[in-house]
Amino acid sequence: MGRSMGCPNGHRFDLAKHGYVSLLSGKGTSHRSDTPEMVASRTAVFNDGLYDPIMAAVAAAVPAGAGAVVDAAAGTGAYLAAALSDSADRRVGIAVDLSKSCARAAARSHPRVVSVVADLWAQIPIADRSADAVLSVFAPRNVTETARVLGTGGRWVIVTPNPDHLAEIVEPMGMLRVGDGKTERLAVDLAGSFEICSQERVSARLDLTTARLADIAGMGPAGFHRTRPELDAAAHALAGDTTASATLDVTVTVARLAG
Ligand SMILES: C[S@@+](CC[C@H](N)C(=O)[O-])C[C@H]1O[C@@H](n2cnc3c(N)ncnc32)[C@H](O)[C@@H]1O
């Protein structure tokens, strides 16, 4: 018999054999979530250490004493795993994502990660004031829900791309351009509910093989509308038999509840 979890209202949620629990109801959601191909591309990029500077900055931004860390739209769980790796054994992670492929990867990302399929726009599936940190990395942000789940002294760690992020490869690889003002828009979103404690710019130069060029494009929104052969062809046109360079350029914002 399969394992399941229950809630006080009598609902039962089955634990998938791949180690995550899905809290989506029968009608599911209208939001688009990452595909298995996008997860594979993201995993290849992370396994090569290409995003390590961002992972290190996110892990360092989580308060040292944080026990429960929620990764809201966790993807493969790599950022959450980084935040758990250097911490004391008592720190646990809750990975939340709409995509089953992501949830499956996140369930394997670290022994102390619990992986949940849920729609962030409906709810972050944990109790009021029970998280010490919430991570939102290149992710949709539900300000009201984050304010509800963060405990006193909790921190919201947010990664947003800057206009120069991967700028050299955006057009040739058919990726979406980062609009100006993402960081400014974040400040507007947070105003009233959160206060910004710190903002750190993280940048690095990447040398990308054709395979990783296609992966970096394919792990983002381009992965929804371009096939792998199209991405490979664009990567070959850009880098030929060598590599192409691109800049990582993001802002890591740490915020706390206002008042
Ligand atoms: C750009 S990816 C970032 C993933 C991860 N934070 C990272 O940086 O590797 C955005 C993630 O948001 C998830 N997502 C999109 N809409 C969502 C929703 N409504 N609720 C939960 N997750 C969602 C996608 O499945 C995807 O994994």
pLDDT tens digit sequence for 114-140: 999 999 999 999 999 999 999 999 999
pLDDT attached to residue 40: 97
d(CA 188, CA 190): 6
Whether the pLDDT of residue 27 is over 70: the answer is no
Q: Are 168 and 247 in contact (CB under 8 A)?
A: yes
pLDDT attached to residue 33: 83
Nearest Cα residue to 158 out of 181, 182, 137:
137
Q: How far is the first Cα of the chain from the last one, in angstroms, to the nearest whole number? A: 49
Question: Which residue ranges make up the annotated binding site for Zn(2+)?
Answer: 7, 11
Which atom in ligand 1 lies closest to the alpha carbon of residue 33?
25
Higher-pLDDT residue of 10, 199: 199
Whether the pLDDT of residue 175 is over 80: the answer is yes
Sign, CA torsion 220/188/256/32: negative
pLDDT attached to residue 1: 43
Nearest Cα residue to 217 out of 235, 197, 238:
235
Q: Which two tokens stand for residue 251?
A: 């802002």
Domain at 11-206+247-257: CATH architecture: 3-Layer(aba) Sandwich (3.40)
**DSSP-assigned letter for residue 188:** H
The CA–CA distances, whole Å, from 1 to 7, 100, 258 equal 19, 21, 47
pLDDT tens digit sequence for 74-89: 999 999 999 999 776 7
Percent of the chain with pLDDT over 70: 91
Is the distance from the beta carbon of residue 18 to the nearest atom of ligand 1 less than 6 Å? no
d(CA 112, CA 69): 10
Angle at 142 between CA 28 and CA 147, to 5 degrees: 125
Where in the chain are the domains? 11-206+247-257
Which atom in ligand 1 lies closest to the alpha carbon of residue 220?
1
